[in-house]
Chains A and B, each alone.
Chain A
Amino acid sequence: MYLTAHRVVSPVSLDEGINSFLYLHGPHTWQGVPPTDAPDTNPGALVAKQIVVPPPGNRVRSYLDVVAPDETPWAEVRQSFIRFLAEAQREPFPWTGVDGRCLFRIGLDAGLAAQWRREIAFLFRAAEALRIGRA
């Protein structure tokens, strides 16, 4: 599973919002830590999306990536995410880390950095809504 939410801004209308996408790799495709080619060259197949600002060509201002086996319960993803954040917050953006069998990546631009907790909460909420709505 590759679940991602990103904030984009249209260069034309300046509309801004969070789009989210859910890809699946197939059940039990891997165990443990995600494969190194996921998600960049192996995102899986897109099965659901929530579009607020229609692509293409919008500038990406922030993103949250989650990679985990398709069958991972959401409660496990959420707990792993909290542990990841507790460690990552000491570092400059972008943040990348693995907790258990979940890979997380977070990036945001300097304009959002001062409110990073709020931005991450928004991204996580958008990702969660898509994933839970699909479960």
Chain B
Amino acid sequence: MIGAKRRYGELLIQLLLFREAAGGELPPEDEARMVSELDRCWREMSEEERQESELGFAGRPVPPAPDSLHEEDLVVPDGSRIGPRRAA
């Protein structure tokens, strides 16, 4: 089904993000609801889409990141129109 693979990827991100934000585990009813939706998408995907999804997630390396962001924060008074960080 068109869109099932994309939806599957979004749901997986959502599930991982919500788990992390909840401290590792979601309430059972929330977990069950999301897993059920993942299953539904999985069933609607072609075999090729399933392989792509599995390989994409399991084999994905850690995204590269710089050693330092070279930014520092600053004091921002209420009502101010300056951002809260700048290049260091």
A-side interface residues toward B, CB under 8 Å?
2, 4, 6, 8, 19, 21, 23, 39-40, 42-47, 49, 55-63, 82-83, 85-86, 89-93, 107-110, 112-114, 116-118, 120-122, 124-125
Contacts and interface: CB of A to CB of B under 8 A. Distances in A.
A83 B11 CA distance: 9
Contacts of A121: 16-21
Contacts of B66: 93, 109-110
Contact of A45 (B19, B79, B84): B79
A4 B86 CA distance: 13
A77 to B, nearest CB: 13
Secondary structure call for the B interface: loop
B85 interface: yes
B62 A45 contact: no
Interface of B: 6, 9-10, 13-14, 16-21, 60, 62-69, 71-85, 88
A116 B63 contact: yes
Given A21-B84, A92-B63, A92-B64, 8 more contacts: A49-B84, A57-B73, A60-B72, A83-B10, A109-B66, A110-B66, A116-B63, A121-B21
A107 B69 contact: yes
A43 B81 CA distance: 6
Given A60-B69, A110-B65, A55 B79 contact: no
A93 B81 CA distance: 27
Most A Cβ at <10 Å: residue of B6, B9, B20: B20
18 contacts: A6-B84, A6-B85, A19-B73, A23-B81, A40-B83, A43-B83, A47-B78, A49-B78, A49-B84, A85-B13, A89-B63, A109-B65, A110-B64, A120-B17, A121-B19, A121-B21, A124-B21, A125-B21
B20 A93 contact: no
A86 B7 CA distance: 9
A68 B51 CA distance: 36
A126 to B, nearest CB: 10
